[in-house]
Amino acid sequence: MAPTISAPITDSSEITDFIISEGNGVKGLSEMGLKSLPKQYIQPLEERISASQIMPQQSIPIIDMSSWDDPNVAESICNAAEKWGFFQITNHGVPIEVLESVKEATHRFFGLPAEEKRRFLKENSPSKNVRFGTSFTPEAEKALEWKDYLSLFYVSEDEASALWPPVCRDQVLEYMKSSEVVIKRLLEALMKRLNVKEIDEMKESLLMGSKRINLNYYPTCPNPELTVGVGRHSDVSTLTILLQDDIGGLYVRGDNDRWIHVPPVSGSLVINVGDALQIMSNGRYKSIEHRVVANGSRNRISVPIFVNPRPCDMIGPFPEVLEGGEEAAYKQVLYSDYVKHFFRKAHDGKNTVEFAKI
Q: Decide: is 275 part of the binding site for ligand OGA (CB under 6 A).
A: no
Q: Which of 252, 277, 288, 292 binds ligand OGA (CB under 6 A)?
A: 292
The footprint of ligand OGA on residues 57-96 (CB under 6 A) is: none
216 binds, among ligand OGA, Ni ion, none (CB under 5 to 8 A by kind): ligand OGA
Q: Check binding of 234 to ligand OGA (CB under 6 A).
A: no
Residue 263, SS3 per DSSP: coil
- Considering only CA atoms, which of 159, 157, 147 is closest in space to residue 110? 147
Q: Strand, coil or helix: what is 165?
A: coil
**What residue number has its CB nearest to ligand OGA?**
302
**Closest distance to Ni ion from the beta carbon of 246 (Å):** 19
Segment contacting ligand OGA (CB under 6 A): 22-30, 167-175, 185-193, 242-250? 242-250
Q: How far is the CB of 92 from Ni ion (least distance, A)?
A: 19
User: According to the binding rule CB under 6 A, does residue 243 interact with ligand OGA?
Assistant: no
Using rule CB under 6 A, residue 302 touches ligand OGA: yes
152: left (phi over 0), alpha (psi -120 to 50) or beta: beta
Q: How many CB atoms lie within 10 A of CB 355?
A: 17
Choice between 230 and 321, CB closer to ligand OGA: 230
Phi, then psi, of 336 in degrees rounded to 5: -65, -30
Buried b (16+ CB within 10 A) or exposed e, 118-129: bebbeeebeeeb
175 phi and psi angles, rounded to 5 deg: -65, -45
Which entry of ligand OGA, Ni ion, none binds 250, CB below 5 to 8 A by partner kind? ligand OGA
Nearer to ligand OGA, 39 or 345 (CB): 345
Taking CB under 6 A as the rule, does residue 290 contact ligand OGA? yes
Kindly provide the residue ranges of all beta strands, DSSP E only, lying in the chain, ordered along the sequence: 62-64, 86-90, 130-134, 148-154, 210-218, 230-233, 239-244, 250-253, 259-261, 269-273, 290-292, 300-308, 314-315, 333-334
Size of the site for ligand OGA (CB under 6 A): 11
CB nearer to ligand OGA: pick between 172 and 250: 250
- Identified binder of ligand OGA from the candidate list 76, 210, 214, 308, rule CB under 6 A: 214
* Helix, strand or coil, per DSSP, at residue 1: coil
**Contact between 230 and ligand OGA per CB under 6 A:** yes
- Candidates 304, 305, 308; CA nearest to 338 is 308
DSSP character for 36?
A: S
The option from Ni ion, ligand OGA, none interacting with 74 (CB < 5 to 8 A, set by class) reads none
Site of interaction with ligand OGA (CB under 6 A): 214, 216, 230, 235, 242, 244, 250, 290, 292, 302, 304
